[in-house]
Amino acid sequence: MHRPRKEMIAETRAKLIAAARQAFGTLGYAEASMDDFTASAGLTRGALYHHFGDKKGLLQAVIAEIDAEMSARLKVVSAKPDNLWQGFVDECTAYIEMALEPEIQRIVLRDGPAVLGDPSQWPSQSTCIRSMTESLQRLRDEGTILAVDPEAAARLVSGASLHAAQWIANSNDPEATSKKAVKAFKVLLEGLLNRTGRLHQPDRPSAIQPEVDRSPA
């Protein structure tokens, strides 16, 4: 049999990624010693260099794994409501919530860009951006939002979400900060909405309307 062989190899790969993910997520990329976390997986740097080339290669693998998980979660969330716009809003909210998780924040949002360069150039191509772009494309086809470039809007929205999340995460009062951020975020999102009257869509996206305070300061 040649199965156990392949399985062992896959297992060491998985163990390395898991150990690195743990170390990167807690200590950060720069402070994580390859000797240390390979040892914690019962291996040495030899295995690491064999499978991933170098430290950056391992970081890529870790990020690819996390990115896939994030994308899967987003897809589930955005598909749940029957209303497309509501699905998009939920997707953004989920994105913010994910960006609040320390592991994602540190590995994907902080160390990743610093070590691997701009995320838009990554092989994983930030699958989340794609997911969001597709959602916006559908909303545009539907006539719910204005004629903006879906990818552009997706990038802007994700950028705003991301910063909101970092702001919240490092706030003294995350609860209060979160409230303020989400409210402002929804107001901003309304800028995308087509306000020329109801079009193709029988039920207009009213989901977020009640939450917005339309009275001036």
Partner DNA sequence: TCAATTGGCATACGAAGCGTATGTTAATAG
Partner DNA sequence: CTATTAACATACGCTTCGTATGCCAATTGA
Stretch that binds DNA, among 48-56, 72-80, 150-158, 185-193 (CB under 7 A): 48-56
Q: Is the dihedral of CA 122, 127, 132, 136 positive or negative?
A: positive
- The listed partner (a second copy, DNA, none) that binds 140, CB under 5 to 8 Å by sort, is a second copy
Nearest-10 crossing angle of helices 84-100, 127-142: 160
Q: Of the two residues 41 and 150, which places its CB atom closer to a second copy in the complex?
A: 150
Which of 98, 96, 78 lies closest to 87, judged by CA? 78
The Cα–Cα gap between 133 and 25 comes to 28
Q: Which is nearer to DNA, 6 or 198 (CB)?
A: 6
Asked if 148 interacts with a second copy (CB under 8 A), we say yes
Candidate list 22, 28, 49, 208; residue touching DNA; CB under 7 A: 49
| Cα distance between residue 9 and residue 18, in whole Å | 14
**Diameter of the chain measured on Cα atoms:** 73
CA–CA gap between residue 129 and residue 117 (Å, rounded): 16
Report the partner that residue 110 touches, choosing among DNA, a second copy, none (CB closer than 5 to 8 A by kind).
a second copy
C-alpha to C-alpha distance for 23 and 68, rounded to whole angstroms = 19
Q: Which entry of a second copy, DNA, none binds 83, CB below 5 to 8 A by partner kind?
A: none
Does 164 interact with a second copy (rule: CB under 8 A)?
yes
Task: To the nearest 10°, report the CA torsion of 60, 65, 67, 73.
Answer: 180
Using the minimum distance from each CB to DNA, give the nearer residue, 20 or 154: 20
Q: Is 192 in the site for a second copy (CB under 8 A)?
A: yes
Residue 194 touching a second copy (CB under 8 A): yes
Question: What is the nearest approach in angstroms of a second copy to the Cβ of residue 9?
Answer: 31
From the list DNA, a second copy, none, pick the one residue 191 interacts with, judged by a Cβ distance below 5 to 8 Å according to partner type: a second copy
Q: Binders of DNA among 156-175, rule CB under 7 A?
A: none
**Partner that binds at residue 214, options a second copy, DNA, none, CB closer than 5 to 8 Å by kind:** a second copy
Which tokens is 18 given? 């898991």
Kindly state the DSSP code that residue 120 receives in the 8-state scheme.
G
Radius of gyration of the chain (CA): 21
The residue count for the chain: 217
Q: For 201, phi and psi rounded to 5 degrees?
A: -90, 115
Q: Does 117 bind DNA (CB under 7 A)?
A: no
List interacting residues with a second copy (CB under 8 A). 29-30, 110-111, 113-115, 117-118, 120-121, 140-141, 143, 146-149, 151-153, 155-164, 166-167, 169-171, 177, 180-181, 183-185, 187-192, 194-196, 199-200, 212-217
